[in-house]
């Protein structure tokens, strides 16, 4: 009986864990599962674990892709620096790097990477040309409409032309004009700068204090007249100043909305990144 028990114990030990769950292949299998379940951050961590012991081009690229999916652009940049020309997904990784630089607004580095992609004749050169055109729209550089829309096909050209027109003719408000308007009619500069409510209240405040000053002077209450007159003057001058500031904020808003719309459009287009089907 004792012998049977000892033998049973030994066999249990030897067969209990025949599969090494932390072997690189198992880690990769688990990471692939997480990737296909859209659990990109955990997938990237598992791929990292795999890459500590093994090397695999697809795994490296899927790791970079996982970081991109999670908007972790700094991690994408760290990875793409280490990839060499012999790497199977070299062109794709360089393009991911280009997208990340675009998203991080690192335009100087973007230009260098874009030039490299052009030089090596990447298969994704057309896609990178499209991104380059968007950087022209986002920067303070002037280019012709034909140059901007050239890499895009007919379905996109109208949208890009609209972006170009918005860039060339932004609906800015002049701070000077806003100040002039408010100096003529208090509050009108605010209305011009798209702040209707603020304009009405500025008009009312200045109007009420002016009336109080006038009424007190008329009733020979000089102190109160000067007090309300002074307040009316302060609010009048403050409104002129505020109208110029409101126009400046409005312009910043126009610029912000333009850049935001470009980012939304590019997110919808997935930054012209090709579809990769690693799950079927």
Partner 1 sequence: MVKLFFLLLFFPVVLLAQTDWQKWEKKDVSYQRTAPFLERDYSLSGEDVFGSATKIFINTYWVLFSNLDGDNCPFNPTCSSFLHQAAKRTNPVKAVLMFTDRFTRDMNPFNRGSNYPVHIAGKFYDPVELYLLEENSVHYLSPSHMVQ
The residue (of 56 and 255) whose beta carbon lies closer to partner 1 is 255
The backbone torsions φ and ψ at residue 17, rounded to the nearest 5 degrees and listed phi first, read -130, 80
The residue (of 173 and 195) whose beta carbon lies closer to partner 1 is 195
Exactly one of 69, 70, 249, 262 binds partner 1 (CB under 8 A); that residue is 249
Q: How many CB atoms lie within 10 A of CB 131?
A: 22
Residue 205 contacts partner 1 per CB under 8 A: yes
The residue (of 241 and 276) whose beta carbon lies closer to partner 1 is 241
Identify whether the C-beta of residue 96 lies closer than 8 Å to the C-beta of residue 122: no
Exactly one of 83, 113, 188, 239 binds partner 1 (CB under 8 A); that residue is 239
> How many residues of this chain interact with partner 1, rule: CB under 8 A?
24
What tokens appear for 187 in the block? Answer: 């509050």
Tokens 């951050």 belong to 41
Identify the burial level of 61 via C-beta atoms within 10 angstroms of its C-beta, where 0-12 means exposed, 13-18 middle and 19 or more buried. buried
Identify whether the C-beta of residue 174 lies closer than 8 Å to the C-beta of residue 243: no
Q: Provide, rounded to whole angstroms, the least separation between the CB of residue 190 and partner 1.
A: 9
Q: Provide, rounded to whole angstroms, the least separation between the CB of residue 246 and partner 1.
A: 9
Residue 167 contacts partner 1 per CB under 8 A: no
The residue (of 212 and 244) whose beta carbon lies closer to partner 1 is 244
Go through 33-42 and write b for each residue having 16 or more CB atoms within 10 A of its CB, e for each that does not.
ebbeeebbee
DSSP three-state, residue 139: coil
The stretch among 22-30, 70-78, 124-132, 240-248 that binds partner 1 (CB under 8 A) is: 240-248
Instruction: Supply the DSSP symbol for 87.
Output: S
Exactly one of 151, 175, 225, 229 binds partner 1 (CB under 8 A); that residue is 175
Q: Which residues 84-113 are close enough to bind partner 1 by CB under 8 A?
A: none
Q: How many CB atoms lie within 10 A of CB 53?
A: 10
Exactly one of 241, 264, 270, 278 binds partner 1 (CB under 8 A); that residue is 241
Exactly one of 245, 262, 266, 273 binds partner 1 (CB under 8 A); that residue is 245
Residue 255 contacts partner 1 per CB under 8 A: yes
**118 CB-near residues (< 8 Å, 6+ apart):** 125, 128
Residues that bind partner 1 (CB under 8 A): 175, 195, 197-198, 200-202, 205, 234-235, 237-239, 241-242, 244-245, 248-249, 252-253, 255-256, 260
């Amino acid at each position: 009986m004792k012998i049977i028990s000892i033998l049973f114990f030994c066999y249990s030990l030897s067969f209990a864990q025949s599969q090494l769950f932390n072997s690189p292949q198992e880690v990769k299998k688990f990471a692939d599962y997480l990737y296909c379940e859209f659990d990109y951050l955990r997938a990237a961590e598992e791929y990292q674990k795999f890459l500590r012991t093994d090397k695999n081009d697809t795994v490296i690229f899927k790791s970079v892709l996982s970081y991109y999916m999670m908007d972790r652009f700094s991690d994408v940049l760290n990875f793409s620096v280490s990839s060499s020309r012999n790497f199977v997904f070299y062109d794709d990784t360089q393009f991911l790097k280009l997208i990340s630089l675009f998203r991080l607004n690192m335009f100087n580095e973007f230009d260098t990477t874009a030039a490299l992609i052009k030089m090596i004749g990447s298969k994704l050169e057309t896609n990178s040309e499209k991104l380059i055109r968007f950087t022209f729209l986002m920067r303070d550089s002037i280019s012709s409409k034909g140059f901007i829309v050239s890499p895009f096909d007919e379905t996109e050209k109208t949208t890009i032309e609209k972006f170009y027109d918005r860039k060339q003719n932004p609906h800015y408000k002049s701070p000077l004009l806003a100040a002039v308007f408010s100096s003529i009619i208090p509050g009108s500069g605010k209305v011009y700068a798209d702040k209707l409510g603020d304009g009405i209240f500025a008009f009312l405040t200045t109007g009420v204090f002016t009336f109080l000053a006038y009424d007190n002077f008329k009733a020979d209450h000089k102190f109160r007249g000067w007090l309300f007159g002074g307040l009316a003057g302060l609010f009048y001058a403050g409104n002129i100043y505020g109208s110029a500031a409101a126009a400046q904020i409005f312009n910043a808003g126009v610029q912000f909305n333009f850049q935001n719309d470009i980012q939304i459009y590019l997110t919808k287009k997935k930054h012209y990144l090709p579809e990769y089907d690693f799950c079927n």
